[in-house]
Structure 1
């Protein structure tokens, strides 16, 4: 602050009381300025960037979190920097989750190690040692790597999922403590970090599975039998809300579900059969289904669990020489 130099003529013989008053006022101003509180600044100030666990379409993820620390002290700093997740939303501390636009939950967990055996929790934060020499405005930086895994066995709708950890902390672990704190005091000095939101994101692509639950076996039939029927089931597991269309294709490639069975070598008889849905007299079940159209197949919508769908097979005539006959039907799942 500049000090104005004021001059005034003093007549001879007059006491210099004004000059004394001016000097006293200057001394008083100096004393007041000396004790006027200055803006506080941390002796060690640390910040963080890139706190976002993005799984993408994978089941596991890695986030390399960048941190920087700046020192303002005549003393060196030796401390433990920590990264602690806060309050998850949605989900709970034991089961954090992400959600899509329809509030479907996708659960996941965070870890401190690439082997995914050391959980990352407020009680078990990720840590890194930090040592800085004394200095004013001297900055150093580094990274903390954290890992994530989407809980296995979940079948959810396709789309984007987002979750947050509110009140997450980049801070310090004080001597004798295991808690990650955004600010600590070390002697007469203050170390400050940051509190903020940690985001997790993922994209789930539609993924369906299908399996046969057994053969369609007519068993033993007589040559005089007619309109014999049997059935079996197939199992479909698609994410909730995912539409799917199923086609059936006999080995002869017939798109209308009309197949033939073959007997043993030397037997030229080929009993014909028909694939059907709903019942033994229901609609034919062929193979014209696509990703967007049911055609002559069967349509369904994923429930997130295994759904059993019945397949019926009819044999109009059994007037063939005695033998064991069979065929293979390919199940095509379109979604």
Structure 2
């Protein structure tokens, strides 16, 4: 054990100076470690999924949605010192198409999404409510420098390790004209290196860091069919002895792409074989006549019968098709065997039913 003699007395044993120097060095290292820990800033981010919900391509309605990105920063300056972090959030084009920004794409859920993937669903994300400025990243050229950017400020009265959270709104919109994609679930994943956070304690965010905030963009395309009401079939003015009357009209059907459908025609008497009856428009006067007619999918008296046994799974005696997203036309024919009935106007109502 080393001893230190009182002042004015000679030393005995080895001098203690090396021990004093050792203590001084330990203190210096401790101060250095404390400085590094205090200066280490910290911000993190999370992001809600962007969900467009159910989308009807034939009747799209609202094409927009939004989500919230949340940034949390921890103060590293001591009490008595104010501190502001400038925070930026950046995203690329997403799953498999990192360089594609205008527009971005969702792909069929579970499919590998590339620039050549079929049935891609176009959308984009923006940093403003007017949806005019695309949310992008500084790493993809000047045209994609837009980022979510906000300051996170701490007052001087807050102590070190205090936290502050801010929410930033991300705006999204489906791109029109809407892609003619089949019904189903569509997604785009922003995982791995597709997102990055940058923050700095100055007036800029500094460089992007490996801090991620993964999220998913999704939409569900629902199947649907629209019917264009056909014109009436008018046999015109006929003589009592006329036979084999024929008339026709055109039916327009628009169904989402790849959607199978079957069309049935039902007269007001509910005859499943498309054999209807026209009744007097103005009843009375003892006229109880009913003029029979037959609905057909082919012209002439030998044309195929068009009835109402069709279902979503079976064509039956109806007419079937597969949607393309565009208008598809079908001719409806009707024949009357004989017009040998009382004078007057006759009519019937036929219901068109599209099963899908």
User: TM-score scaled by structure 2?
Assistant: 0.72
- Find the aligned partners of 1:32 and 1:165 in 2 and give their Cα distance: 43
Residues 39 and 128 (structure 1 numbering): CA distance in 2 closer, same or farther, change over 3 Å? Answer: closer
Deviation at 1:252, TM superposition (A): 1.8
* 1:312 equivalent in structure 2: 333
Selected match of 1:100 from 100, 108, 119? 108
The structure whose residues are more often strand, as a share, is: 1
Give the corresponding residue for 2:93.
Answer: 87
CA separation of 1:213 and 1:189: change in aligned 2, threshold 3 A: closer
Change (3 A) 1:30 1:143: closer
- Tell whether 2:40 aligns with 1:72: no
Query: Secondary structure at the residue paired with 2:238?
Result: coil
**Correspondences of 1:121-270 after superposition (within 5 Å):** 121-122=135-136, 123-133=145-155, 135-151=159-175, 154=178, 155-164=180-189, 171=197, 182-184=198-200, 186=202, 194-195=211-212, 197-265=214-282, 266=284, 267-270=287-290
Q: Name stretches of at least 5 consecutive residues in structure 1 with no aligned partner.
A: 1-6, 172-181
**Within the alignment, does 1:330 sit opposite 2:337 as a pair?**
no
Q: List runs of 5+ in structure 2 lacking aligned partners.
A: 4-10, 56-61, 112-117, 137-144
Counterpart position of 1:56: 53
Q: CA RMSD in A?
A: 3.8
Farther off after superposition, 312-321 or 242-251: 312-321
Does 2:294 correspond to 1:274?
yes
Tell me, yes or no, if structure 1 residue 46 matches structure 2 residue 54: no
SS of 2:351's equivalent in the other structure is strand
Counterparts in 2 of 1:22 and 1:54: CA distance versus 1, 3 Å: same
Q: Distance in 1 between matches of 2:17 and 2:70?
A: 60
Aligned equivalents of 2:91 and 2:333: distance in 1?
A: 54
In structure 2, relative to structure 1, the CA distance for the partners of 1:153 and 1:310 (3 Å cut) is farther
Q: Distance in 2 between matches of 1:41 and 1:197?
A: 29
Q: Judging changes above 3 Å, is the alpha-carbon distance between structure 1 residues 190 and 320 closer, same or farther for their aligned structure 2 residues?
A: closer
Rate the CA distance shift 1:275–1:184 in 2: closer, same or farther, 3 A.
same
Paired residues, what number? Answer: 316
Instruction: Give the secondary-structure state (helix, strand or coil) at the position aligned to 2:73.
Output: strand
Q: TM-score, normalised by structure 1?
A: 0.76
Alpha-carbon shift at residue 168 of structure 1 (Å)? 5.4
- 1:8: how far off? 7.5
